[in-house]
Amino acid sequence: AAPPAMRPYSCSRFSVPSAWDTWASVTRNQTALSYLKVEELRVRYIGPGDDDRQAATIMANHPVPADVPLYYFEVEVVSKGREGFIGIGFQQDDVALHRLPGWEAHSYGYHGDDGHCFAGNGRGMPYGPRYTSGDVVGAL
């Protein structure tokens, strides 16, 4: 028999994300949500974007289950916007939504403008290539 980590994982044990959780965003940070336009699975930043304090984060409607050994998703960057300040990652449910993923404790993010990975603070480490309009970025 295959070791436990190598066995296929049944999705019937948990709910797979199928939409954005705009309710959590509204209740936790109305300003950040006002910077986003959500249309089904497409999210567009419509905030001023003058600096990194005008960021917005949105979460999926179902979390990654704690007992899932590997979890993967992809994001297509349709447009990088003016500066390319895009972060893709994971965070706990109680992390602030007005910052890019990886800048707050209990969050991790891969940022497109510099290709750095951030793990709970503002000091990124070189990780991969920069990403921009037209790229598909995977997170594992």
The whole-angstrom separation of Cα 42 and Cα 38 is 6
Whether CATH 2.60.120.920 fits 14-139:
yes
* Region of poorest pLDDT, from 9-18, 70-79, 123-132: 9-18
What band does 19 get if pLDDT is binned at 50, 70 and 90?
Answer: confident
Residue type, 78: V
Which residue bears the tokens 């921009």?
Answer: 132
Please give the radius of gyration of the chain, using alpha carbons only, rounded to the nearest integer: 16
Number of alpha carbons in the 13 Å side-chain half-sphere of residue 8: 3
pLDDT of residue 67: 82
For the chain, the structural domain boundaries read: 14-139
DSSP annotation of 113? T
SS3 24: helix
For 29-87, the pLDDT digits (tens) are: 667 777 888 888 888 888 887 776 778 888 888 888 888 888 899 999 999 988 888 99
Calpha distance 83→80 (Å, rounded): 7
Q: Which two tokens stand for residue 9?
A: 């994982």
Q: Are 114 and 61 in contact (CB under 8 A)?
A: no
Q: Do 89 and 107 form a contact (C-beta atoms < 8 A)? A: yes
